[in-house]
Amino acid sequence: MNFLKNVLAAILGFFIATGILFVVFLFVISALASTFGDDEKIIVKENSVLVLDFKEPIKDYSKEVYFEDFDYKDKDFNGLSSILKAIEIAKTDDKIKGIHIKSSGNIGGLAMASELRQALADFKSSGKFIYAHNDFITQTDYYLQSVADSVFLSPMGELSFRGLSSEILFFKEMQEKSGVNMEVIRHGKYKSAVEPFLENTMSEANRLQMTELLNSLWNVMATDIAQNRNISIENLNNIAHNLEARTAKLALKNKLIDGIIYSDEFEQILCRATNTQNISDLDFITINKYTESVVNKARLNRPKDKIAVIYAEGEIIYGKGNPEVIGNETIVESLREASEDESVKAIVLRINSPGGSALASELIHREIELAKKRKKVYVSMGNYAASGGYYIACNADKIFAQSGTVTGSIGVFGVLPNVHRLAKDWGINAEQVQTHNHSLEYSIFEKPTETFIKTTTESVEMVYNTFLERVANGRNMTKEQVNEIAQGRVWSGIQAQQNGLVDAIGNLQDALQFAASDNNIESFEVKNYPLFKMNFEEILTRFGVRVKTKTLKEELGDEAFERYQQIKSISQQKGIQARLPYNISMN
């Protein structure tokens, strides 16, 4: 009888599990079907207003993914490059009457916001309007919206204008209490990525660089806002110091906005600007839809000559990359394809990275050297091109950074978790058997040996010296000169230019135009890399990661989720790292 019950239970369990898997499979297939479905033709109607409402975080790259098992190529239209192109086309599109900017909180950083501002300023030169109306405006969003003809806030709305900050958590005391330690080996007195594990407070060297960096970035923001809003930088600083923009009335009093109105009143302003009677006479098209429409049309007329733009976005890892991280294999493959393509006349490497694996950075650096034997390679820096991100930039023929780019951080470190004190407290004893003296390189259950510390320190020093050599050779400097501005020190784009780490202040378009002029190219098409290849198993894995990420973000909230990501990133680092030590809050 028990046997029969067990058999029936097993059969029932099998069918339940199969049913669950089938439901999950249908769910995934449904999601994929929406991706692979026929493209709906997007029609831009007369009397259209272009709505800048960035509902998803903006990436540099409008990535292309090739799904191998389906023989299908999918293109994302939420990349900065595509958005900038769309705004440029909208300037002369008679159907687009103006732009409405909505606050989103999804603009990644100061450099990205600056590129968008420049595109909007160019759009304004056509005589078309740009208006912003929101219930809440973050600081980065306000930096972007300050270029508008008018900025409006709803009566109960808020404007965040408080200056820049960076908060660093320190774990030394927690390690002492928990028995879980991070063994740290570093080079560079400013390499503050590992300082939280060594100290309970911020070092003077780190506080110095943080203060100078934040002041430099804030000056970029304040200068641009002051020019557009006709407010002195001194007044802007007073407003930020005293939080005198926190309510709609205060923001209006201090001239940061132009009016306090409800959305229906804003609709009347749009009607007057477009000479229409009713809001129903206007058509609102989102930037994503418009971008998809105009980019597809732009593909019809293609010049013969091409300039390759290779996007290196995210943390640098050893191995294969994906749309979220830079893998040396993926970037190396892109560099080879671009350098061997006869229609490609020049290469621009667009970097938006805080760094990562030193080994992966070195392998990418080497491939750039090989590519330069065939054609010139230029670099355009986005929000970040720091540490490993600068490593892969330093040997370019010309480097462009933006005023608000965070770069430098020429330094390396190694971090390893160790639980030998915790294991001892809990009565855990690890025994090892080995054939040679150092067969077991490292155990988290044992205190690091002098030999291990010595050899790892030698490795860190070797990588740091190699880093210095790469920068010295690429920038035509001596190692001593590089060392003076290195040691993990972080710089803004303006500071980096003053120190000889970059050649010019400019955006991606500036880099492309220079590359064209430098290579006598009259007209060109941009050919984007990399093309990410994914099979069905990788699709399912990434689908699961997205679901997990969304769930965690909803449960933890934005700030706690950011902390979780930082700790997770540190815990998963392998090998010697060349990485930016912190994040900067623009909002």
Q: Which domains does the chain have, with CATH numbers?
A: 48-162+243-295 (3.90.226.10), 304-412+472-579 (3.90.226.10)
Q: What is the pTM of this model?
A: 0.83
Query: Is 263 labeled as catalytic in the residue annotation?
Result: no
State the Cα–Cα distance between residues 421 and 181, nearest whole angstrom.
8
- What is residue 33's predicted lDDT score, i.e. its pLDDT? 46
Residues lower than pLDDT 70 in the chain? 1-40, 62-77, 187-192, 295-301, 532-576, 579-587
pLDDT of residue 134: 95
User: Long-range CB contacts (< 8 A, 24+ apart) of 251-259?
Assistant: 251/153, 251/159, 251/161, 252/153, 255/229, 255/230, 255/231, 256/142, 256/146, 256/151, 256/159, 256/161, 256/229, 256/231, 257/151, 257/152, 257/153, 257/159, 258/150, 258/151, 258/152, 259/150, 259/152, 259/153
**The one catalytic residue among 81, 160, 216, 387:** 387
Sign of CA dihedral 271, 274, 276, 280: negative
Q: Which of 191, 289, 306, 345 is catalytic?
A: 191
Which residues are CB-contacts of 558 (< 8 A; sequence separation ≥ 6)?
Answer: none
Report pLDDT for 546. Answer: 55
Please give the pLDDT value at position 60.
86
Task: Tell me what pLDDT residue 81 has.
Answer: 87
289 is catalytic: no
The pLDDT value given to residue 393: 97
Give the model's pLDDT for residue 73. Answer: 46
With CA atoms as reference, report the closest residue to 529 among 378, 301, 307: 307
